[in-house]
Amino acid sequence: MPSTLIVTPLIDTFDNLKAQRRLLDNNELDNDDLQSNYPDLAKFLNETTRHVSAANKELSFVMEFLYIMGRKSNGTYLRFRNEIERWCLFCWQHNSKGIFEVTRKDIEAYIDFVYQPDKTWIGTSVQQRFIVKNGQSVSNIKWRPFVAKLAKSLTKKNPLQAALPDAYRPSQESLVSTFTALSVLYQHAQMEEVCDKNYVPVVKKSCPYLIKQVQRKTPDTLSQLQWEYVLGITKDACEESPKFERNLFVIATLKSLYLRVSELSEHAKWSPRMSDFSVDNDGFWYLTVFGKGNKIRDVTVPPAYMPYLKRYRLSRGLSSLPSPDEDSSMLNKLRGNGNLTSRQIRRIVEESFDLAIKALQNDGFEDDANYLMAATTHWLRHTGATEDAGSRPLKHLADELGHASSETTDKNYIQSNIKDRARSGQDRKV
Burial 201-213 (b: 16+ CB within 10 A, else e): eebbeebeeeeee
Q: Could you tell me if 159 and 81 lie in one domain?
A: yes
Average pLDDT over every residue of 58-83: 89
Question: Distance of CA 253 to CAs 81, 108, 297, Å?
Answer: 32, 45, 16
Task: Report helix, strand or coil for 189.
Answer: helix
The amino acid at 392: R
Q: Does residue 425 form part of some domain?
A: no
Number of domains observed in the structure of the chain? 2
Domain match, 169 and 271 both: no
Residue-wise pLDDT for 346-358, tens only, equals 999 999 999 999 9
Single out the residue in 172, 205, 238 at which a domain terminates: 205
| Closest C-alpha to 13, from 5, 25, 21, 23 | 21
Residue 122 in any domain: the answer is yes
Q: Does the pLDDT value for residue 2 go beyond 50?
A: no
Evaluated on CA atoms 245, 248, 251, 254, the torsion sign reads negative
What integer is the mean pLDDT of 60-75? 88
For residue 185, pLDDT over 50 is answered with: yes
Same domain assignment for residues 279 and 361: yes
Q: Do 283 and 138 have their domain in common?
A: no
Same domain flag for 62 and 201: yes
- Tell whether 321 and 175 lie within a shared domain: no
199 lies in the same domain as 228: no
Banded pLDDT at 416 (limits 50, 70, 90): low
428 is a domain residue: no
Whether pLDDT at 311 is above 50: yes
Domain ranges, residue 45: 14-205
**Using one digit for the tens of pLDDT, what is the confidence trace for 150-165?**
655 555 555 555 567 7
Are 139 and 272 in a shared domain? no
Instruction: Label residue 315 by pLDDT band (50, 70, 90).
Output: very high
- Shared domain for 26 and 175, answered yes or no, is yes
Per-residue pLDDT tens for 228-259? 999 999 999 999 999 999 999 999 999 999 99
Mean pLDDT of 295-306: 92
The set of residues, in sequence order, having a beta carbon less than 8 Å from that of 88 and lying 6+ positions away, is 10, 55, 58, 59, 62, 99
Q: What was the pLDDT predicted at 332?
A: 85
Instruction: Tell me the CATH number at 318.
Output: 1.10.443
Domain-located, residue 192: yes
Residue 87 lies inside a defined structural domain of this protein: yes
- Shared-domain flag, residues 41 and 177: yes
Task: Taking residues 371-385, report their average pLDDT.
Answer: 89
Is 110 domain-assigned?
yes
pLDDT at 3 over 50: no
**What is the pLDDT averaged over residues 130-148?**
92
Average pLDDT over residues 337-352: 88
Average pLDDT, stretch 393-403? 88
DSSP for 288-310? EEEETTTEEEEEEE-GGGHHHHH
Using alpha carbons only, give the angle 208, 212, 216 rounded to the nearest 5 degrees: 150
